[in-house]
Structure 1
Amino acid sequence: MKKYIKAFFENEILSYLFFGVATTLVYILTRTSLFFLIPQTLLVVFIANCVAILFAFITNDQIVFQQEWTCWPARLVKFISARLTTLLLDLVLAYLLVDAFPQLIGQFVHQDPTRINAIATLISQVLVIVLNYILSKVFVFQNTKKSS
């Protein structure tokens, strides 16, 4: 069993997906927990996003892409820049597919706004996940790997 777990985490894409799900859970737990303490939605969402981005950076840096700990501040700045880029993509797609041109998706779901939003979210998240991986692989974590 230990062999299979190790093999799973040595596969970069599987490891990336696993920690992506973990990051989502960190975000949800942080957001819901903080909301009980601080009932201010935008502040809680901002803090939860910051916590999730830091968690994602550490797991991607040290486990997924196995970087040396040196030069981590420069990678963190690149990582945040990449995440802001995909956030912008998410916002643009939401605006285009849900607000500006809902009929593009709506024609397939009887113009139901809930379904339009759900499908737009799915499309957006698939693109965001793929782009985050590419940006991380090519732009952020291109430094030295840990010696095994």
Structure 2
Amino acid sequence: MKKYIKAFFDNEILSYLFFGVATTLVYILTRTSLFLVISHILTVVFIANCIAILFAFVTNDQVVFKQEWAGWPGRLLKFISARMATLLLDMLLAYVLVDAFPQLIGQFVNQDPASINAIATLISQVLVIVLNYVLSKLFIFQNKKENS
């Protein structure tokens, strides 16, 4: 069993997907929890993204792309910069689908704000995961550990 788990995490794409799902769960749990106590959707999305970005950096840097410890501050800055693009995309989708035109999703969920937010979250996260992998692979994580 240990051999299969190691093989799974040695596969970059499978490992990225695993931690992408974990990051998405961190994001969704944070966003849906905060939405219960903060009514301003853009504030909720921003805070949830900040928490998810930090979680994603650590897992991507050390587990997925197996980076040397040296140079992590520079990678973190690049990572945050790249994630700002997906943060803006997420905020745009939240604004359009939850604030400006909630009826687009609401017509299917009896106009329930929590359900509208949950569905909008899932839609945006599919787009965000794909875009984040491309940005990470091409621009951020390039100095692998010697013994990986």
TM-score, structure 1 normalization: 0.71
Partners of 1:53 and 1:7 lie apart in 2 by 26
Q: Which runs of 5+ in 2 are unaligned?
A: 34-42
Partners of 1:67 and 1:115 lie apart in 2 by 39
Paired position in structure 2 for 1:95: 95
Paired position in structure 1 for 2:107: 107
Report the CA distance shift for 1:122/1:25 in structure 2 as closer, same or farther (over 3 A): closer
**1:27–1:49 CA contact under 8 A, matched in 2:** no
Paired position in structure 1 for 2:39: none
Equivalent residues in 2 for 1:25-44, closer than 5 Å: 25=26
1:78 and 2:75 are equivalent in the alignment: no
Q: Which runs of 5+ in 1 are unaligned?
A: 33-41
Percent of aligned positions with the same letter in both sequences?
73
Could you tell me how far 1:97 is from its partner in structure 2?
0.8
**1:106–1:113 CA contact under 8 A, matched in 2:** yes
Which of the two has higher C-alpha Rg?
1
How many pairs align? Answer: 133
Q: What secondary structure is seen at the aligned counterpart in 1 of 2:4?
A: helix
Paired position in structure 2 for 1:8: 8
Could you tell me how far 1:28 is from its partner in structure 2?
6.2
Report the CA distance shift for 1:118/1:28 in structure 2 as closer, same or farther (over 3 A): closer
Partners of 1:61 and 1:137 lie apart in 2 by 11
Partners of 1:26 and 1:128 lie apart in 2 by 11
**1:105–1:119 CA contact under 8 A, matched in 2:** yes
Q: What secondary structure is seen at the aligned counterpart in 2 of 1:79?
A: helix
Partners of 1:56 and 1:145 lie apart in 2 by 17
Could you tell me how far 1:10 is from its partner in structure 2?
1.0
Report the CA distance shift for 1:28/1:112 in structure 2 as closer, same or farther (over 3 A): closer
Could you tell me how far 1:27 is from its partner in structure 2?
9.9
Question: Which fold has the larger relative contact order, with Cα–Cα distance below 8 Å and residues 6 or more apart in sequence?
Answer: 2
1:145 and 2:147 are equivalent in the alignment: no
- In the TM superposition, what whole-angstrom CA distance separates every residue of 1:71-113 from its partner, at most 9, and x where no partner exists? 3222110101122222211111010011112222233334333
Letter in 2 for 1:2: K
Runs of 4+ residues over 4 Å off in structure 1: 21-29
- In the TM superposition, what whole-angstrom CA distance separates every residue of 1:20-48 from its partner, at most 9, and x where no partner exists? 4544559969xx9xxxxxxxxx8xx95x9
TM-score, structure 2 normalization: 0.71
